[in-house]
Amino acid sequence: MAMSNRLQVFLDEDEFREIQRIARARRLTVAEWVRQALRTAFESEPSRDAARKLETVRIAHRHSFPTGDIEEMLGEIERYSGRGGP
């Protein structure tokens, strides 16, 4: 079992009341809501793991999307955006 650590954070009253309100609305304790919020923030941080980044690039490379000549695409955007007429 992993060792647990304690984190102490000071918040102003308004911030703490808002966290309490949100946690209560989600039927969570404040501690559990904070843990989930920190996990979400941690997961959104850029990965420093090179293998994970390479795998992401490999997955993206498998997809194929239609492309076209840039001048043609810009012309179509202008034509159909109401600026250039049909």
Mean pLDDT of 54-82: 84
Contact residues for 78 (Cβ-Cβ < 8 A; gap 6+): 84
- Indicate whether 28 belongs to any domain: yes
Is 70 in contact with 63 (CB distance < 8 Å)? no
- Could you tell me if residue 5 is inside a domain? no
Asked which of 5-9, 29-33, 44-48, 70-74 is least confident by mean pLDDT, the reply is 44-48
Mean residue pLDDT of the chain comes to: 87
Q: Determine, yes or no, domain membership for 70.
A: yes
In total, how many domains does the chain have? 1
Q: Quick one: tokens of 18?
A: 């808002």
Q: Indicate whether 54 belongs to any domain.
A: yes
Q: Is the pLDDT confidence value at 16 over 70?
A: yes
pLDDT of residue 26: 96
Residue range(s) defining the domain that contains residue 18: 13-80
DSSP string, 16-76: HHHHHHHHHHTT--HHHHHHHHHHHHHHHSPP--HHHHHHHHHHHHT-------HHHHHHH
